Amino acid sequence: MKNSSGLVSLYITSCEKDIPAKVTLSQLKAAMPNLEPASFVETTYGLIINLANDKDIRKILKLDLAKIFGKPVQVVPLFSGQFKKIVTFRDVPWCIRNEELEICLKKQGINFGKLSREKAVIYVEVADFPNFQRLREEGINFYDSVVFRAAEDIGLNDEVTYNADNIIQCYR
C-alpha cells in the first residue's frame, strides 16, 4: 500500500449524497491525538492522509469513524506502490509518432511510464493514481488541435503485450 515516496495514503470522505459535509484532520486528531501524518490534504469533500507506516492506518480503520466525523464515511487506500494501470486510446492516426504523443503528455504534466501502440491503439502505462485519473479525464491534448479521449475500461488493464521495438507497422 506504499506510494512511490514510501508513504501509505488513506482517503476519507463523507457518504452523504446531496451536499457532503467536509471531513477534516482536526476531527480525526481529536480522536487520535498521537497521529502525526507525514502530510495531508483536505479536499473539498474529504481528507487524504499520508502516513509513514501501516500501523497508523490500521489504528484509524479500527476507530468508529462515523461517530468521529458525525456522519457515515467511506475510507479507501490510495497510491499503492504496485499501482500500474494502462489507459487505452483508440483511433489515434498511425502516422502520429509515439514520440510526439510523449511530448504532448509531458506538456500536460502527465507522468507516465511506457507508451506503446498496436496499429491505431495507444497504451499509456501510468504508475500513480492522480496521473491515471487525469489522463482518463483529460485525454491526450495533441498540441491544442485535438484531444484523444481514453477508451472505456473493459478489462483493458489486464496484461498487455508491448511492441518492444516501438515500430509502427502498416497492416494494409
d(CA 140, CA 5) in angstroms, rounded, equals 26
What is the model's pLDDT at position 19?
65
Domains and CATH numbers, the chain: 8-78 (3.30.70.330), 85-148 (3.30.70)
d(CA 104, CA 100) in angstroms, rounded, equals 6
d(CA 31, CA 29) in angstroms, rounded, equals 5
User: Please, is 2 exposed, middle or buried when counting C-beta atoms within 10 Å of its C-beta (0-12, 13-18, 19+)?
Assistant: middle
Does the pLDDT value for residue 158 go beyond 50? no
Share of the chain above pLDDT 70, in %: 78
What is the model's pLDDT at position 14?
82
Query: CA torsion angle for 133, 51, 49, 1 (degrees, to 10)?
Result: 40
Task: Read off φ and ψ for residue 28, nearest 5 degrees.
Answer: -70, -40
pTM: 0.46
Does the pLDDT value for residue 142 go beyond 60? yes
d(CA 40, CA 15) in angstroms, rounded, equals 20
